[in-house]
Structure 1
Amino acid sequence: MLAETLPTWVRAVSELPVRFVFADNCPGDGCEAIIAGCLGDASYTYLPDSSNPGFAEGCNRAVAAATTSHVLLLNPDVWLPEDGLARVWATVAANPDGPIAVGLSMYGGAYVGIDLHPIALFIDRVATVSRGPLGPSGGAAVFPTDLFRRFGGFHEHLFAWGEDADLAFRLYASGLRTRPLDLVLPHAGGHSVEGDSSLQGFRARLLARNRLLVAARTFTWPLLLVAVPVLTLAHLALAARRARQGLLRPFLRGVGRGLVEAPAARRQWNGKRFGFVSLCRYLTVRRA
């Protein structure tokens, strides 16, 4: 996949002062050679970690190594048009202090950032929704580097699937709003688990667990008390869907782990939390 996408990133750089940082959680599969072949002697940073600590920690490791004022987190299965980075650059210049959600084209639709959902809690935000995004999707997100670090980046225990929503709730609760960028990048969404039942089960387990941990970490007590019965009903509906998909067992294991780990997860974040005031503002304020 990187062999297909990386050349488009290099072409999009043009004359822009861009530095590449690659966090590779599976070194030895040939990606390092692809990077060297595309970038040659150009300056880039390569950060291998054969322990596979997860998407969240990989992103944090990359941002820690960044020396630029802003970072663009980009999945390796995302293609850039030739003017893509120039448009990101212009948006950063116009909005240097806040996060930016870059659009992704996947599953036959266009999505920009993260949205709230009464059952799934967080989902990809459809591009045509009138309200602004809760926060950027980790697959294509721009952050001021200092801001990302100040908020602790992605919660690494989540590993993957939901770490961007966790950060989005925390940013929104602190008054930081995410600007959507009218740029939709082709994204091979879901390819990493497609056709592999064990990986699909792994994803179902982590999503079930992380949904509960994100709520426990980022919601105020009043909102959490209201959310608990809603999440209970939602998980019954989700259980029926997972049963049809043959993923009920990993889903239930994830729910169990989420319930066990929720108290510790809440203690790990002491900043501002997403409450009823934040919820009302999010649902009623339309994007500029």
Structure 2
Amino acid sequence: MTVAGPRGPGISVIIVSYNVREILDACLQSVYHAAARFSGTVEVIVFDNESRDGTVSLLKPRWPEATWISSDRNLGFGSGCNRGAAVATQPLLLFLNPDTLMREDTLQVMWDFFRSHADAGVAGCKIVNRDGSLQLACKRSFPSPRVAAFKLIGLGSLFPKSRVFGRYNLTYLDENTTHEVDAVSGSFLCISSELFREIGGFDEDFFMYGEDLDLCFRAKLLGKRNYYHPITQVIHFKGESAKSRPLGSFLDFHAAMVIFSKKHLELRALPLILLNAGVAILALAKFISSRFQKWPRWFADLLIVNLVLGVVAYVYVHAKGHTLFSFIEPSVYVFWNVLTSLAVVLPLAYAGEYGSGPARPRKVFLSVGISFLAVFSLSFFMKEHAYSRVVFAISSVLSAALLTSWRLAGSHGGRFWRKVVGGVKRVVILGTAARARTLAALIQNETLEGYECVGFIHFPAGPVPQEVRANVIGDLETLPTLARKLDLQAVIIALDEGTYPAALRVLAAHGAGSLEIKMLVGDPEPGKNSLIDLNFRN
């Protein structure tokens, strides 16, 4: 189905979704706002890759204008794009990630660009991160052993303006000027439907990542020119789809680079091995760093688990009339402490407990209990090295209780305590309309856990609704002062969709000090909303 503008040729917007219902809702809002200002026809096609979060059942009635295609299994990004393109009817295709928000002029700008550049193969716009900074992947060169090596060892970061070392992401090019490039990002990729079909679409050997590079490479082989066109831009909340399969997404990235290298780079065995090894190391390093962002939290967990094991073992051994290391071999004691520490911390890290999100005490309690149970069970198979199952049993109960209490205490502690444990955050809500008031009620009723609402920040300018007049504590100009005086940790943007761009520009321009900036997407109802971290910090 189509929408917007006088009848005539236009753009088919193809979105492949996977368990991103809330941000997809916001993405569609931004697409239809842009469609309303577009001079031609806009066709929106959503291909859902077996989402299990109610994406189709909840959003299809909300957006009946779109064409919805559901898959009974996850086919990957490229396959989903191909199936969406197969039913597209417009001359220009835009492949758009579901975790993006476009400006109101985006569709028109890209349409005008293709009409004025007959040699264009693939084109992308400027893509910015949550904080407004450039997302480097929106303009790239094709990977080679040398380019990958400079990226891996950090020379690209040290010398971004160098045409030699900065080639991976073409950081030496002006980000605000249109350039011919090797490749653009698949999160926002425009191509004519005629060329897309001539190329044969995306290579479905790529499950996720790399298919955009491959498509751009094949377009250039046909004599076309690929462009980076920053006259318009989109915000990309990178990695929303990957959250539901964190390790799998990193493995997919490595596999994609291997496929691309074998397909397009005429490499001998040793360079190919070195390239693949470098990509694997880079992917693994990124995955590990994403799992251990909150170092005070995992350090505290390790400290508590080892203290509990030590104290319980000491008391138990002395109750039997022995000293600790006359009863237990030091190497055995160290082995089981290390094993137990890893059994507790690694599952929590994989689940994202040490990431950027708030602490989740219930998940911690359950995970710690299961970890100790696993270690306890293992001790039955290593009787000659297991010093006491009583120690494990008592330590499991105490550790689960203490690690959970450590997080729960954040809701009642002071500024330092909350910063360390990541407990309940004191927040203000940007906005005073019905959407903001409903969100405040969810927080007040503890339907939305992890937050304490202090009041409202009035935006945009205009009369303050009578219902919240008593709870409005200031505006954006006074926000930095309020943050210090009221010990605020976060601002939640809860505006009508049309005012989001203005709010984002104001926050990016003025900054918010140490405050976290979050944005409400979806309806402010239980199970139908999500808070996205924008990370606007100085």
Q: 1:186 aligns with which of 235, 238, 248?
A: 235
- State the partner residue of 1:232: 273
* Structure 1 residue ranges (4+ consecutive) displaced by more than 6 angstroms after TM superposition: none
CA distance in 2, matches of 1:46, 1:123: 36
Residue 132 of structure 2 is aligned to residue 103 of structure 1? no
CA distance in 1, matches of 2:101, 2:51: 22
| CA deviation vs aligned residue, 1:144-174 (integer Å, no higher than 9, x gap) | 1011111111111211110111112222223
Displacement, 1:72? 0.7
What is the letter of the counterpart of residue 124 of structure 2? A
Q: Please give the TM-score of this superposition, normalised by the length of structure 2.
A: 0.40
Summarize the Cα distance change of 1:97–1:246 in structure 2 as closer, same or farther, 3 Å threshold: closer
The worse-fitting range, judged by mean Cα deviation, of 7-16 and 52-61 is 7-16
CA distance in 1, matches of 2:284, 2:91: 46
Summarize the Cα distance change of 1:208–1:240 in structure 2 as closer, same or farther, 3 Å threshold: closer
Q: 1:138 aligns with which of 183, 186, 199?
A: 186
Aligned identity (percent) is 24
Residue 216 of structure 2 is aligned to residue 168 of structure 1? yes
CA distance in 2, matches of 1:52, 1:242: 22
Summarize the Cα distance change of 1:164–1:125 in structure 2 as closer, same or farther, 3 Å threshold: farther
Displacement, 1:37? 1.4
Q: 1:89 aligns with which of 108, 111, 122?
A: 111
CA distance in 1, matches of 2:60, 2:108: 22
- State the partner residue of 1:74: 96
CA distance in 2, matches of 1:243, 1:72: 31
Displacement, 1:83? 1.3
Summarize the Cα distance change of 1:244–1:31 in structure 2 as closer, same or farther, 3 Å threshold: closer
What is the letter of the counterpart of residue 274 of structure 2? L
- State the partner residue of 2:504: none
Summarize the Cα distance change of 1:240–1:56 in structure 2 as closer, same or farther, 3 Å threshold: closer
- State the partner residue of 1:19: 43
The worse-fitting range, judged by mean Cα deviation, of 68-77 and 117-126 is 117-126
CA distance in 1, matches of 2:52, 2:275: 41
Displacement, 1:67? 0.8
- Structure 1: gaps (5+ residues): 248-288
Q: 2:174 aligns with which of 128, 131, 135?
A: 128
Displacement, 1:234? 3.6
Displacement, 1:124? 5.3
What is the letter of the counterpart of residue 106 of structure 1? N
CA distance in 2, matches of 1:60, 1:215: 22
- State the partner residue of 2:263: 217
What is the letter of the counterpart of residue 206 of structure 2? L
What is the letter of the counterpart of residue 208 of structure 2? A
| CA deviation vs aligned residue, 1:76-120 (integer Å, no higher than 9, x gap) | 111111111111121122124522122211274244343234227
Q: Please give the TM-score of this superposition, normalised by the length of structure 1.
A: 0.72
Matched ranges for 1:196-207 at <5 A = 199-207=245-253
Summarize the Cα distance change of 1:157–1:123 in structure 2 as closer, same or farther, 3 Å threshold: farther
CA distance in 1, matches of 2:123, 2:287: 37
Summarize the Cα distance change of 1:213–1:242 in structure 2 as closer, same or farther, 3 Å threshold: closer
Q: 2:76 aligns with which of 49, 54, 65?
A: 54
- Structure 2: gaps (5+ residues): 1-22, 152-166, 289-538
Conserved? CA contact 1:23–1:47, under 8 Å: yes
- State the partner residue of 2:142: 116
CA distance in 1, matches of 2:282, 2:68: 40
CA distance in 1, matches of 2:123, 2:285: 37
What is the letter of the counterpart of residue 34 of structure 1? L
Structure with the greater alpha carbon radius of gyration: 2
CA distance in 1, matches of 2:281, 2:139: 27
Residue 85 of structure 2 is aligned to residue 63 of structure 1? yes
Summarize the Cα distance change of 1:75–1:245 in structure 2 as closer, same or farther, 3 Å threshold: closer
Displacement, 1:245? 5.4
Summarize the Cα distance change of 1:134–1:67 in structure 2 as closer, same or farther, 3 Å threshold: same
CA distance in 2, matches of 1:87, 1:115: 24
Summarize the Cα distance change of 1:106–1:66 in structure 2 as closer, same or farther, 3 Å threshold: same
State the structure with bigger RCO (CA 8 A, min sep 6), 1 or 2: 1
Displacement, 1:242? 5.0
SS at match of 1:132: strand
Summarize the Cα distance change of 1:85–1:241 in structure 2 as closer, same or farther, 3 Å threshold: closer
Between the two proteins, the alignment pairs up a number of residues equal to 236
Displacement, 1:2? 1.0
Displacement, 1:191? 2.7
What is the letter of the counterpart of residue 234 of structure 2? L
Summarize the Cα distance change of 1:19–1:124 in structure 2 as closer, same or farther, 3 Å threshold: farther
CA distance in 1, matches of 2:94, 2:286: 34
Conserved? CA contact 1:79–1:185, under 8 Å: yes
Summarize the Cα distance change of 1:86–1:54 in structure 2 as closer, same or farther, 3 Å threshold: same
Displacement, 1:68? 0.9
Displacement, 1:123? 5.8
CA distance in 2, matches of 1:57, 1:230: 30
SS at match of 1:203: helix
What is the letter of the counterpart of residue 94 of structure 2? L
- State the partner residue of 2:196: 148
